[in-house]
Amino acid sequence: MKFSGYQLLSQRGAGKDCVAYLARELSSGNLVQLCDLTSAAKHQRRWARLTRQLKKIAVFSHPAGRPLIQLQLNTDPRFAVLGLTGTRTLADNLQQPSLQWPTALAICLRLSDCLMHAHRLGISHGNLCPSGIGIDDDDEPIVDFTQFLAMGITSSQTSDPLDRCCLPKSSSTVGADPAANDIYALGAMHSMLLGIGRFGRLCNAPIPPLSEGESASLESLIDSMLDDDPLDRPLADEVVRELNAGLRAHLNQAHLSDPGFGSVTSAPTPSGGAETGGDAETIGLMKPAPAMGNERGLEGRRLGRFQIERRIGSGAWGAVFRAIDVADGATVAVKVLHPEHANCRDVVKRFRDEAHILAGIDNPHVAKLLDVNCQDGVHYLAMEFVDGPNLASLLARHGSIDEPRALQILADVARALVEPHEYGVVHRDIKPANIIIRLAESGGRQRDAVGRQPDRSQTAASDGMGIEAATLVDFGLAQDLFDDRPESDAGEQSAPRAIVGTPAYMSPEQCGGEPVGPETDVYAMGATLFHLLAGRPPFLGDNIQAIIDQHRNQAPPRISEFRAGIPDSVTETIDRALAKRPVLRHADAEALLVDVERLLRGEPVSIESHPFAPGDPSAAMRFQFQWPLRSSPAALWPHVSNTERLNEAIGLPVVDYTRQVDDEGGVTQTASAERLGMKFQWREHPFEWIEGKRLAVLRDFQSGPFKWMISRVELQASSDGGTHLSHHVIVQPRSVLGRAAAALEVGVKAKRALKRVYFHIDRTVAANGVGDPFRQPNRLKLARRRRLDQLIERLRSRELNAHVVARLSDCIEKAPAQELARIRPLAFARQYGLNADAVVDTFLAAAHEGLLVLYWDILCPSCRIPSDIKETLREVKNHSHCPACNLDFELDFAGSVELIFRVSPQIRQADVKTYCIGGPAHSPHVVAQLRIDAAERLRLDLSLDVGSYQLRGLPCALVIDFEVAHPGETSRWDIDVDADSLSTPLDVPLQGPEMKAGRQCLVLANHSRREQVIRVERRSPRTDVLTAARASTLRSFRQWFPGEILSPGELVGVGAMALMTLSISDDPQAGQVANALAGQSFLKMTSEVVERFGGTTLPGPADRVRVAFDDPSRALLAALDLHQSWSADGSIKHRRLKIALDHGGSVAVSVQDQLDYLGETARAVERIFQQTQPGELTMSVRAASDPVVASLLTERQLDGRMETIETDDHGPVLIHRFGIESVRADVDRVSD
């Protein structure tokens, strides 16, 4: 990839979002760091967050800030260019005894001033520490605000203790404020640098020449910066003012003779003319904000990164301005606190407290908080500017709203309040004036029109106006700190109300000045819905007190008195919301939303009601078994959810399954079994489960004594750390005989068997997994016992890992027959805490000796369940089919072909029969699976950990990738699972939101014509699969199973393989024989090293060696180890290695009875090899940019350069060249 105006010199590192290069700016010759952002641009939501942050940094410039020289975000290639940082860090300075007072003071002041300017623009670092701050040759600090790209500088010395001092306790909590974290870190570094306060004795700080009063004042400031409560820490503006005032006499010693070093007299312009990729012109920083005696003085000025345009509202607590965010050109609303309140600590703290809570809420029905800040004593917050009329103006024009639209608007308001109510935030001022209506564009998607009021000649419906959505504004802060009304009304009220709220919509407790809660907002929403439908609020009066008295003492009127035709259900919802006592109302917005959605006939049911009974549930027989268990739900889940083992253990019969595919691609699964002398046949619906909590299944019987049966298991954590297990069975008998059969088989036999198995599982788990969870240990007969001992003794004679051999022997002897039918070596290693390589070697040796039998599972890439099994690789073709998913797929040697083992029938008979195929244990990567009927909406509550996930739908083929992160964007996600309505191609995963770690709520709506099965899956790659690609690189596999190759002419794709070509140069002073002997020595050494690092040798020309690895980091480690071994051989002189490495997709093929890897990667590595000089390691850009490889290159201090080479068949190719003559020798670590 070419970056216009820059020459790439070498790679500096690689991370999730970018690859960083040392580059030269061609126009100036200056060295810079170029960050290739191509990988980040592939992820829509992450890219949006990253670009927002980079655009803010583009308008920031400060002598102590790392300069952002160029930013190209809108066109390919996407990249950022940064200035270089110093070679030293602040940690290095702090550990030197020569640090002088003027230097320490100057660093403190520069850092404080830098943070002040950055925070004004909404830029926070969030992870400041001494090892992350550079020091240039003039002892000036350099703060890198682009550290979120994971390309920060590192200290050359150990500085962990100092770094840890800069980390506040609150830094890892949800909603932690990065700006407050910056202040804490700044305080810690002030303490270290100046030798004052909590951390003053940690470093070699100079003795400060301060008076007693100056020292006490500075220590007090530092203590406040280190306060445990983030909201009690000062703002960066306040820190600078305190330093400016307290250290005025010492500023000249710090070479800062200007006593107003912290004042912004003019704005720094973007560094180097950074191109932000936006349409708006970049605006420089303006003069300091004026005093707030007259807010109109702000117009035309700048607060932080917000260019103030004009005032649009005013109230008792502050003023609201329309402004432009200069980072991206967006229009925003800026609310400024009146100066008379700015000095009230409690008001300011509450201002910041609720603002930071709201900052974590990303909801389309809430005006999003963008920034809360202070500049020159002016406290302000910036919020999303919502363009549209407020609901009060629509009511003034049209009188009332029709019922469907009114309910939709109220539902949007309730959705806006669900998450805040969870945080304990109460709005207190919900009213039509605080609800902004987003109008649909002409011809665009519209909801139901505003209703026609009988006494109005003109309505919204007749205007043809459509309403898209409702947005709640003045959220959280507005009701406490502002009363934003049109300027024409501002004079009516000049002081804050003693009772906060708007009387027409205030709850009784709010009217009385009593404590409020979420129920207060519910009352206001009920009053607002009443107004929408009736054209007036519930209570009217000549004055405020009259209205308050009615709220507190008078029953609200019925909505039917003002509007005919309102359903009783709507009336009941309004009456409940307007109840005088809070306890009689809906508990919060979530509870009200459930009722409103029911009224809209789209109520999202809970998964607890699944699966639905297919017939009349009143005629069904119900059995409920409950047992207290000692183990936790998480520990019990892998066994309780293993329905294959559980069904066999409780004595259920073997099941035969058949599948049918309908015209729309849906799969219907039919099962049959014999029991009690009767033939049972049923339709097996997909299992439904939430990992660790519940699983359930519905079976529709076509024959037998039952019509249908539901089995549901629920695990609830108990207060003592154990589990309350409930097993519910609901059966609809077909006849009197069926009722008797259910009473006996379920009520008696199944209950007894389930209790026995569940308690056995509990005892096994409590004993740390010693023994089989489902059955007592198996006992071998004497003859088979002797045969097993003989084979185990052979394994011991091979000097294999003794612990692994012993564990394998114990497993084969005692494990149940089901477990021995499919033994997965890497899963076996993980289960028993054994070395994975030792387990694989032992299993292969056991298969060679006849103790185990080797098989190949063909894994479906969608459900990850084996869709087929092959006895040899020769049977493997390049395509396969998964009957469960009705999916044809192309095989991938590196992902969909797994090597497994089965016990030899000479020792034991494995149980390959099927008892259940759809339970959660078959899909351990699936966190939740559920069925959603046509037109159903379902609420799914999850507790996902931080990680990557995928939401997948069948048969609709919907695929959405999403992340769970800390802190994340949102906790609620509304999803339409009908992929037919999507414009994005179904083979391209959609990008979902970034969910908050902890609790998540997914509301799924099925608008398709048929049932959909929805799965939430972990997207992380499986590390317990011994793939064919990896197995083929193992020496023991090739040695003992040389016949395990593909059929001649069969080509199977490999997702990614690392291919490497190596050779040695001849010694011109040696003869032909000596060079030939050296070549033989090189081949032997290469074979040993490659084998040690998990690689394999491939067929190739005689003058070089071709090798393959399943991991590029293993290939790099092998190359470095080979170089060290070769260099250490004193008998070899004047011969140098040349190595070329690439990583990418390949094609597996059998060549002369040996596996080989061909394709573009093989051709690319040969092109690179042709350009490699003796003593060099060259590799492609894609290999070098692998994060683990990049880390190893830095760790081994490989100093490379980048170069464009010319090739005959591929044009110019960019490669990395590394000299390997002085490589560090510590290559003992192999990446996992």
Q: Check whether residue 700 and residue 556 sit in a common domain.
A: no
The residues, ordered by sequence, that sit 6+ positions from 17 with a Cβ below 8 Å of its Cβ are 37, 39, 40, 46, 50, 148, 149, 150
Q: Check whether residue 724 and residue 819 sit in a common domain.
A: no
Q: Identify which of 573, 506, 499 has the alpha carbon closest to the alpha carbon of residue 538.
A: 506
For residue 267, the model assigns a pLDDT of 40
**Of 363-377, 597-611, 801-815, 843-857, which range is least confident?**
597-611
CA distance 341 to 215: 31
For residue 600, the model assigns a pLDDT of 80
Q: Check whether residue 751 and residue 681 sit in a common domain.
A: yes
| CATH number, residue 538 | 1.10.510.10
Using an 8 Å Cβ cutoff, are 742 and 736 in contact? no
The residues, ordered by sequence, that sit 6+ positions from 541 with a Cβ below 8 Å of its Cβ are 547, 549, 550
For residue 459, the model assigns a pLDDT of 38
Q: Check whether residue 954 and residue 1087 sit in a common domain.
A: no
Domain count, the chain: 8
For residue 100, the model assigns a pLDDT of 84
20 exposed, middle or buried (CB, 10 Å; 0-12, 13-18, 19+)?
Answer: buried
Mean pLDDT score of the chain, rounded to an integer?
83
For residue 523, the model assigns a pLDDT of 97
Residue 161 belongs to a domain: yes
Using an 8 Å Cβ cutoff, are 678 and 945 in contact? no
What is the signed CA dihedral for 1064, 1069, 1070, 1076, rounded to 10 degrees? 30
Q: Check whether residue 421 and residue 567 sit in a common domain.
A: yes
Confidence of residue 981 (pLDDT cuts 50, 70, 90): low
Which residue is it, tokens 């493997």? Answer: 876
For residue 176, the model assigns a pLDDT of 66
Q: Check whether residue 541 and residue 436 sit in a common domain.
A: yes
What is the sign, positive or negative, of the torsion defined by CA atoms of 198, 202, 208, 212?
positive
Residue 1231 belongs to a domain: no
The residues, ordered by sequence, that sit 6+ positions from 793 with a Cβ below 8 Å of its Cβ are none
CA distance 118 to 57: 8
Last residue of a domain, one of 921, 942, 968: 921
Q: How many CB atoms lie within 10 A of CB 689?
A: 26
CA distance 13 to 23: 13
| CATH number, residue 1099 | 3.30.70.1230
Q: Check whether residue 624 and residue 740 sit in a common domain.
A: yes
Residue 777 belongs to a domain: no
For residue 690, the model assigns a pLDDT of 96
Q: Check whether residue 1078 and residue 985 sit in a common domain.
A: no
For 630-717, strand residue ranges (E) read 656-661, 667-675, 678-684, 688-690, 694-703, 706-717
Using an 8 Å Cβ cutoff, are 855 and 1027 in contact? no
Last residue of a domain, one of 872, 897, 921: 921
CA distance 656 to 660: 14
Residue 962 belongs to a domain: yes
Q: What are the pLDDT digits (tens) for 770-824?
A: 788 998 888 888 888 999 999 999 999 998 999 999 999 999 999 999 999 999 9
Q: What are the pLDDT digits (tens) for 429-469?
A: 899 999 999 877 544 433 433 333 334 333 344 344 567 88
Average pLDDT over residues 635-639: 96
Find the angle CA(949)-CA(834)-CA(811) to the nearest 5 degrees.
100
10-19, 847-856, 1002-1011 — which one is most confidently predicted on average?
Answer: 847-856
Q: Identify which of 100, 86, 197, 95 has the alpha carbon closest to the alpha carbon of residue 143.
A: 86
Q: Angle, nearest 10°, between helix axes 236-246 and 178-194?
A: 20
Using an 8 Å Cβ cutoff, are 593 and 518 in contact? no
CA distance 931 to 972: 20
**Of 7-11, 664-668, 732-736, 938-942, which range is least confident?**
664-668
Q: What are the pLDDT digits (tens) for 1171-1205?
A: 999 989 999 999 998 888 988 888 888 878 888 88
Find the angle CA(447)-CA(452)-CA(453) to the nearest 5 degrees.
140
- What are the C-alpha distances in Å from 873 to residues 449, 782, 959, 1097? 64, 35, 31, 19
Q: What are the pLDDT digits (tens) for 253-309?
A: 655 544 344 443 334 333 434 544 433 322 222 333 444 445 667 888 999 899 999
**Of 536-550, 576-590, 1117-1131, which range is least confident?**
1117-1131
The residues, ordered by sequence, that sit 6+ positions from 736 with a Cβ below 8 Å of its Cβ are none
**Is the peptide bond prior to 454 cis by the omega test (within 30 degrees of 0)?**
no
| CATH number, residue 693 | 3.30.530.20
The secondary element (H helix, E strand) that includes residue 625 is strand 621-629
For residue 952, the model assigns a pLDDT of 92
Residue 487 belongs to a domain: no
For residue 252, the model assigns a pLDDT of 64
CA distance 524 to 532: 12
Q: Identify which of 1100, 1117, 1094 has the alpha carbon closest to the alpha carbon of residue 1061.
A: 1100
Strand-pairing partners, residue 1179, are 1141, 1216
Which residue is it, tokens 């609303």? Answer: 333
Residue 513 belongs to a domain: yes
Q: Identify which of 354, 358, 357, 460 has the alpha carbon closest to the alpha carbon of residue 406.
A: 460
Q: What are the pLDDT digits (tens) for 568-595?
A: 889 989 999 999 999 889 989 988 988 8
Strand-pairing partners, residue 471, are 436
The residues, ordered by sequence, that sit 6+ positions from 1083 with a Cβ below 8 Å of its Cβ are 1105
For residue 527, the model assigns a pLDDT of 97
For residue 964, the model assigns a pLDDT of 92
Q: Check whether residue 543 and residue 432 sit in a common domain.
A: yes
For residue 275, the model assigns a pLDDT of 47
Range of the domain at 711: 609-766
Any known ligand binding at 913?
no
Q: Check whether residue 563 and residue 641 sit in a common domain.
A: no
**Looking at the predicted structure, is the pLDDT value of residue 221 above 90?**
yes
Tokens of 848: 């060679």
**Looking at the predicted structure, is the pLDDT value of residue 845 above 90?**
yes
CA distance 140 to 63: 8
**More confident: 943 or 971:** 943
The DSSP bridge pattern shows strands 937-942 and 678-684 to be: unpaired
Q: How many CB atoms lie within 10 A of CB 935?
A: 12
Residue 485 belongs to a domain: no
CA distance 362 to 970: 5
Find the angle CA(277)-CA(283)-CA(288) to the nearest 5 degrees.
145
CA distance 1090 to 1166: 19
Last residue of a domain, one of 254, 278, 298: 254
The secondary element (H helix, E strand) that includes residue 1052 is strand 1052-1064
Q: What are the pLDDT digits (tens) for 475-492?
A: 644 333 333 433 333 333
Tokens of 562: 């003002």
Instruction: Tell me the three state secondary structure of residue 607.
Output: helix
Tokens of 506: 């205030």
The residues, ordered by sequence, that sit 6+ positions from 181 with a Cβ below 8 Å of its Cβ are 124, 125, 126, 127, 128, 167, 168, 170, 171, 230
Tokens of 101: 């007072």
Average pLDDT over residues 630-659: 94
**Looking at the predicted structure, is the pLDDT value of residue 881 above 60?**
yes
Q: Check whether residue 908 and residue 969 sit in a common domain.
A: no
The DSSP bridge pattern shows strands 1211-1219 and 369-375 to be: unpaired
Using an 8 Å Cβ cutoff, are 606 and 938 in contact? yes
Residue 395 belongs to a domain: no
Average pLDDT over residues 841-845: 95
Average pLDDT over residues 666-672: 87
Average pLDDT over residues 1101-1110: 90
What percent of the chain stands above pLDDT 70?
Answer: 86
| CATH number, residue 46 | 3.30.200.20
Average pLDDT over residues 323-346: 86
Q: Check whether residue 48 and residue 192 sit in a common domain.
A: no
Q: Which stretches within 1065-1111 are classed as H helix?
A: 1072-1092
Q: Identify which of 499, 592, 503 has the alpha carbon closest to the alpha carbon of residue 551.
A: 503
CA distance 908 to 787: 10
